[in-house]
Amino acid sequence: MDIVHQYWPFLISAAFLSWILLQRYGTPLRKIPGPFHASWTRLPRFIAVASGRPHEWELKLHRKYGRIVRVGPDLVSVGDPAAINIIYNANDKFKKSRFYLPFMVYDEEGMLPDPLVINDKALHTRMKKNAYTAYSMGAMLQLEPLVEKVTERFFALLDKRPTCDLGKWLRFYATDVIFAVTFGEDLGFMEKGDPIGMMPMLEYVVGDYVAIVGTVPWLHKFLLGNRFVARLALGENGLEGAALDLALKQVDKFRQKMAASAGGMDGPCTFVHRLLEHQKKDPESITDRELNTHAFGNITAGADTTAIAMRTIMFNVARHPDIYRALCREIRDEAGLKLPVSYATASALPYLDAVIKEALRIHPPNGVMYCRTVPPEGATICDKFLPGGTEVGISPWVVHYDDELFPDPERFEPERWLAADADLVARRKRSIFAFSAGSHTCLGKNISLMEITKLIASLLVRYDISLEDPDGNMSFKCRWFTPQTGLIVKLKIRDS
């Protein structure tokens, strides 16, 4: 005992050192290159995400160590576009990892069947199947008149603001659009600001908390995963609970409207209407809880992501006079678009399409790796063996800045998507990872693309747009979402 007393500092240091060496070398992951400190602790990555710069940290590591990097004791970042098909494919062998624990929302029946987080293949397939038609582009196109009504109100508000924070307005706009297409009516975010106090929940819980705590998921049960702490921090039913309540209320309201109309509802068939009709025809195919969860998912996943993409487009178009001129020429002179702009005409414009692709490449709306767990038998990725249970992921920021595929990746260059080399363009398209890939690909992609394409064309039909500070930059934080601030523009109404 005396020896322990005398040498305890030495013993503790020796034990700590042995533990570090075990973490570093006592696993097949020792063969994966990466910084020494990240091989025994997740702290460096936690700090990178908490400080809102994981994209810079990961890119720097990939440029130094190559396409596969050990960024935590049991966490590997992959930067090889060819690995997308291995990790994210339809057979779901690589399950969602513990990173998604903080995304999970519970009601009295347990965890909500949110497609984003469920690992039960049969349930996930059913969830996707029961909403497939409602998310399809065909369904979206029927909703164009609803989007156009929101756009009309948006322009009436912008008309009165020759200089404005367009970034802030785009967020309100995207929120009203997602409510309109989901429930047939919006809550007037554009007119009233944030009438239900939902935006802080989206920003700080869905955007920041999940990404930061997702890097060290065991922490979650001591934070918002603990009912008491969640109540203390977020109020009685938690802020996500508020979004869920809102979804339930809106769905109920719709049900009542449908019942009152005796089957003869006015207007286009909204997302919830389609799901309810589907349920009426085949009650077994979708439960009430699944239906409500889809509506909840639209509220939490649909607005910020789309607003981020629209900000990137407007900033880069306004920032580069040659791109601005080329896009205006296509939209105004060659296609002669008028308001309201239809998706069919706008989506056929190659330069606009290239601008949208380039915006999703240069500034993906999601900022961290979409993490998965290597299946029990292990997997070989970038010629390295990863044992079962390793957490692995690809960040869209890493693949989108691959300088072999996208030379000078920091440059906004829509022309990359119009290059003569068809093979190269096809490889670039396969590497675009903003909407993820495989069985968990974004379900709302069609809604977003329809909304973005129509709005960007409409803005340029309606206004001459310039940055208030032509040399200024937006700033942004990179977490689960990558929201920017500082898109201040001058708008001049055109004779359109």
Instruction: Give least dist CB 238 to ligand HEM, A.
Output: 20
Instruction: Give least dist CB 143 to ligand HEM, A.
Output: 11
Identity of the residue, 311 or 462, whose beta carbon is nearer to ligand HEM in the bound complex: 311
The binder of ligand HEM chosen from 151, 279, 293, 306 (CB under 6 A): 306
Identity of the residue, 54 or 365, whose beta carbon is nearer to ligand HEM in the bound complex: 365
Task: Pick the stretch among 203-211, 235-243, 300-308, 422-430 that binds ligand HEM (CB under 6 A).
Answer: 300-308
Tell me the residue nearest to ligand HEM as measured from the CB: 444
Identity of the residue, 335 or 444, whose beta carbon is nearer to ligand HEM in the bound complex: 444
Strand partners, 467: 489
The binder of ligand HEM chosen from 39, 130, 292, 298 (CB under 6 A): 298
Interface with ligand HEM (CB under 6 A), residue total: 23
Is 116 a binding residue for ligand HEM by CB under 6 A? The answer is yes
Is 442 a binding residue for ligand HEM by CB under 6 A? The answer is yes
Residue with token string 């292990």: 378
SS3 413: coil
Is 179 a binding residue for ligand HEM by CB under 6 A? The answer is no
Task: Pick the stretch among 72-80, 254-262, 336-344, 438-446 that binds ligand HEM (CB under 6 A).
Answer: 438-446
DSSP 481: B
The binder of ligand HEM chosen from 444, 467, 484, 489 (CB under 6 A): 444
Identity of the residue, 328 or 456, whose beta carbon is nearer to ligand HEM in the bound complex: 456
How many angstroms separate the CA atoms of 428 and 370, rounded?
19
- 246's tokens: 């809102």
Question: How many residues are listed for the chain in this entry?
Answer: 496
The residues, ordered by sequence, that sit 6+ positions from 303 with a Cβ below 8 Å of its Cβ are 171, 174, 175, 177, 178, 202
Is 457 a binding residue for ligand HEM by CB under 6 A? The answer is no
Identity of the residue, 293 or 458, whose beta carbon is nearer to ligand HEM in the bound complex: 293
Asked if residue 442 belongs to a known ligand binding site, the reply is: yes
How many angstroms separate the CA atoms of 298 and 443, rounded?
9
Long-range contact pairs involving 200-204 (C-beta distance under 8 Å, separation at least 24): 200/239, 201/234, 201/239, 201/240, 201/242, 201/243, 202/243, 202/300, 202/303, 202/304, 202/481, 203/304, 203/481, 203/483
The binder of ligand HEM chosen from 39, 151, 270, 366 (CB under 6 A): 366
The binder of ligand HEM chosen from 146, 187, 202, 309 (CB under 6 A): 309
Identity of the residue, 238 or 365, whose beta carbon is nearer to ligand HEM in the bound complex: 365
The binder of ligand HEM chosen from 54, 217, 302, 414 (CB under 6 A): 302
Is 81 a binding residue for ligand HEM by CB under 6 A? The answer is no
Please give the single-letter amino acid code of residue 250: Q
Strand partners, 271: none
Is 481 a binding residue for ligand HEM by CB under 6 A? The answer is no
Is 39 a binding residue for ligand HEM by CB under 6 A? The answer is no
The binder of ligand HEM chosen from 315, 435, 463, 476 (CB under 6 A): 435
How many angstroms separate the CA atoms of 367 and 417, rounded?
22
SS3 24: helix
How many angstroms separate the CA atoms of 69 and 86, rounded?
17
How many angstroms separate the CA atoms of 346 and 358, rounded?
16
The binding site for ligand HEM (CB under 6 A) comprises 115-116, 128, 178, 297-298, 301-302, 305-306, 309, 365-366, 370, 434-436, 440, 442-444, 447-448
For the annotated binding site, the residues are 442
